[in-house]
């Protein structure tokens, strides 16, 4: 992941993505903790990985983390869970105005 700090392009064929996807789903909380901590380069890798890894069993942790890490919206949209987080989206927009 450190190598990705200076990376300007990301894709599903990136070796870092393949490596992270080999992790067991039990590591989703650790990936969520790392999400957004090290700038957009690592953030983009994690969005791609989380889109593949998370499932219904991760909804609660995704929604809880979304309150602090709004960029998880990419995962939420991909999974079709937007209706469940509309209150968080509305509150975020209200604070921005």
At 22 the pLDDT is: 93
Model pLDDT, residue 1: 46
| Arithmetic mean of pLDDT over the chain | 83
How far apart (Å, rounded) are the C-alpha atoms in residues 74 and 55?
14
**How many CB atoms within 10 Å of residue 70?**
14
* Per-residue pLDDT tens digits for 43-60: 788 888 999 999 999 999
pLDDT < 50 stretches in the chain: 1-3, 5
> Where do the structural domains in the chain lie, given as residue ranges?
2-96
Output the pLDDT for position 28. 95
């Amino acid at each position: 992941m450190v190598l990705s700090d200076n990376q300007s392009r990301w894709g599903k064929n990136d070796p870092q993505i393949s490596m992270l996807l080999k992790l067991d789903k039990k590591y989703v909380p650790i990936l969520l903790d790392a999400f957004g901590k090290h700038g957009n380069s690592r953030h983009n890798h994690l969005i791609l990985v989380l889109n593949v890894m998370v499932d219904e069993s991760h909804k609660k942790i995704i929604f809880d983390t979304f309150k602090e890490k709004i960029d998880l919206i990419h995962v939420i949209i991909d999974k079709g869970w937007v209706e469940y987080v509309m209150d968080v989206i509305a509150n975020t927009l209200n604070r921005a105005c």
